[in-house]
Amino acid sequence: MLYTSDQGEVVMIYKRILVAIDGSEGSKQALQQGSELARNNGADLTLIHVKNETHLPLYGGVYPVSAAGTQIIQEEVERAEEVEISKGEAILRKAKEAVSPDIKVTAVLLDGDPAASICGYTEKNNIDLIVMGSRGLSGIKKWVLGSVSQKVLSEATQAVLITK
C-alpha cells in the first residue's frame, strides 16, 4: 500500500508480510528482516514452509510390482511423508518462537513446488511482501538447479525482498 507522507514522500506500507522458512541461515536472516518490517509497519506476519515432496523408493533401480511390494512401498511413503511433515512443523515452530510476541504470526505448512506454492499462497491471501533468503548457489549448480528465490522473484506479482 502506498501513501504520501507529510513531507510529500511516497512511502510503502506493508500490512501482510510472508517469510519463506526452510531452516537455512538465509531463511533465518529473512525471518529477522521480515519480523523487523512487520513490527515497523504494524503488519501481520505469515511464516510459510514448503515441505519436500515424498518420492517412491527404488529397490535396486526398480519398483516392486507384487501386492506385498506395493504395500511395503505405500508404508514407506507414508512414513517418509510423516517425517517431512514433522520436520516442517518443527522448522515453523522454531521460527514462530523467534518472532516477538507483539507481532501477529500465522504459520503455514504447504507441499508442492516451493516457488509455485509460495506465489500461489501470496496471491490467494493478499500478501503485500514476500521475504526470503538467498541460498547462494553459484556456477553450474545455479544454472542446473536454479533457485527458489530466483523463481519467486520472476513469478511473483507482489514485492519480493531477498536477504543475504
Residues 68-124 have pLDDT tens digits of: 556 777 788 788 889 899 999 999 999 999 999 999 999 999 999 999 999 999 999
Question: Torsions phi, psi of 74, nearest 5?
Answer: -60, -45
pLDDT tens per residue across span 119-142: 999 999 999 999 999 865 555 545
CA distance 83 to 123: 29
- Strands 2-4 and 16-20, by their bridges, are unpaired
Q: Which amino acid is at 25?
A: E
Work out the angle at residue 15's Cα, subtended by the Cα atoms of residues 9 and 16, and round it to the nearest 5 degrees: 135
Spatial CA neighbour of 51 closest among 129, 112, 135, 107: 112
pLDDT of residue 148: 87
- Give how far the C-alpha of residue 40 lies from the chain's centroid of Cα atoms, to the nearest Å: 22
Among the listed ranges 40-44, 55-59, 152-156, which one has the minimum average pLDDT value? 55-59
In terms of pTM, does the model score above 0.85? Answer: no
**Set of cell numbers at residue 93:** 515452530
pLDDT of residue 144: 45
DSSP 3-state of 156: coil
pLDDT tens per residue across span 13-29: 899 999 999 988 889 99
